Amino acid sequence: MSTEKLVFAQLMQWVPHYHFQRLVKRYKGNYKVSSFVCWDQFLCMAFAQLTYRESLRDIEACLRSRPNLLYHLGIRGNVSRSTLADANELRDWRIYEELAHWLIARARKLYAHDDVGVDLDETLYALDSTTIDLCLTLFPWARFRRHKAAVKMHTLLDLRGAIPTFIRITEGKLHDVHFLDELILEAGAFYVMDRGYLDYARLYRFVLENAFFVTRAKSNMNCRWAASRPVDRATGLRADQTVYLQGTQAALDYPGPLRRVSYYDEETKKHLVFLTNNFTLPALTIAQIYKRRWQIELFFKWIKQNLRIKAFFGTSDNAVKTQLWIAVCVYILVAIVKKELKLEPSLSIILQFLSVNVFQQEPLPQLFTQDIGVFLKTETPNQLMLLGI
């Protein structure tokens, strides 16, 4: 009989247990808890993410079907629906938020030299949010519309590896632009965002902190032309200009020059106008940087399709945030393992393999050495290319 650890246990070895226990102690996660500690909660919720469980009852039934293996999974407490529900309601969600940040820091180092798809040495971030719909009857604290509830997942994505570097989960009606107030800007880095973040006073902070932004201009933008640079129209470029904002408030909010790049996209037949505070990169590179913004849309689409963030295992604010942060932890954890073990399959394929092999006793690298050609041929070509997803 094989003495190899279960696949699930091997995967969880990449989680820093000593750091996790420090977080639990900081937030008193195990205060007055005699059994089913925070580590048990994390393992059960991570198991639910990896094996696509749909409810607390589903998690309980699946784990209790293999009682002789729970110890080998790392779960020491008694698994029950009520115990897990109480843990999700009461254990501080910040434990899993900070664990995610630790994993993110490790993942970013692993993917720091990945190709970003643009001739750019600096760090490139994409900024956006996604709305996660909830039932108003079950989640009255998350009212979004008259008959609808929702939360928003604001994300800053490092495009070298599609690693989310900063996430904030808020009520659904919070406007995206307020997320800019919470960013700690990195000098020299580029931040690409859509028109929802176009607030001139907030964008001028990028200038003051020596960071760069690339965004779309609004159709009613009022500006004064100052200078033009030649462009190669064969590349799709139509204009490369220096402009100043007009209008009393706009000029006060952003008193410096802006670079206005006009581009015609032959594929979509659309005329796009970009704004940036960078005057050194070629105009075509500015257009290419904005095109990379689409990767964060694909990231949101991917996590909604592959992780459990639509059906929730609890109805409180704490339970929702706990589930979302553990989902982020699982995503980053699998990305780390993919890089550390130099696995060839895409992240989607890795998750599919893990979902049906969590109870197997087989070395992780060996699990992915079998022929996966049939899976690769069935993958949709317009899925995430980041991380080889």
Q: What is the pLDDT along the chain (389 residues), one digit of tens a residue?
A: 355 789 999 999 999 999 999 999 999 999 988 889 999 999 999 999 999 998 999 999 999 998 889 999 999 988 999 999 999 999 999 999 999 999 999 999 999 888 888 888 899 999 999 999 998 888 999 988 888 899 999 999 999 988 999 999 998 988 999 999 999 999 999 999 999 999 999 999 999 999 999 999 998 899 999 999 999 999 999 999 999 999 889 999 999 999 999 999 888 889 999 999 999 999 999 999 999 999 999 999 988 888 888 889 999 999 999 999 999 999 999 999 999 999 888 888 888 889 899 998 888 888 887 655 545 555 554 444 445 55
Residue 169, classed as helix, strand or coil, is: strand
**Location of structure tokens 């420090």:** 22
The one-letter amino acid at 235: T
C-alpha 99/C-alpha 295 separation (Å) is 25
Which pLDDT score is estimated for 389?
52
**Location of structure tokens 């180092």:** 109
Which pLDDT score is estimated for 3?
57
CA 364 to chain centre: 25
C-alpha 358/C-alpha 50 separation (Å) is 8
Please give the structure tokens belonging to residue 346: 């895409």
Sign of CA dihedral 183, 188, 190, 195: positive
pTM: 0.89
Which pLDDT score is estimated for 384?
47
- Using alpha carbons, list the distances in angstroms from residue 290 to 16, 17, 55, 111, 262: 36, 39, 39, 21, 12
Distant-in-sequence, close-in-space partners of 116: CB < 8 Å, separation ≥ 6 = 124, 159, 160, 292
Which pLDDT score is estimated for 277?
97
Which pLDDT score is estimated for 349?
87
CA 152 to chain centre: 12
Which pLDDT score is estimated for 1?
37
Helix (H) or strand (E) holding 275: strand 270-276
Which pLDDT score is estimated for 379?
52
C-alpha 344/C-alpha 337 separation (Å) is 11
Which pLDDT score is estimated for 136?
86
Number of neighbouring beta carbons within 10 Å of residue 220: 5
Sign of CA dihedral 277, 283, 289, 294: positive
Please give the structure tokens belonging to residue 30: 């195990």
**Ranges of H-type helices in 241-372:** 248-253, 283-291, 294-306, 317-340, 347-357, 364-367
Sign of CA dihedral 33, 35, 40, 45: negative
C-alpha 386/C-alpha 294 separation (Å) is 11
- Using alpha carbons, list the distances in angstroms from residue 45 to 11, 313, 317, 389: 14, 9, 16, 22
Q: Output phi, psi for 291, to 5 deg.
A: -60, -30
Which pLDDT score is estimated for 345?
84
Half-sphere exposure of 273 (CA within 13 A, CB side): 13
**Location of structure tokens 């020596």:** 210
C-alpha 383/C-alpha 309 separation (Å) is 19
**Cβ proximity of 17 and 38 under 8 Å:** no
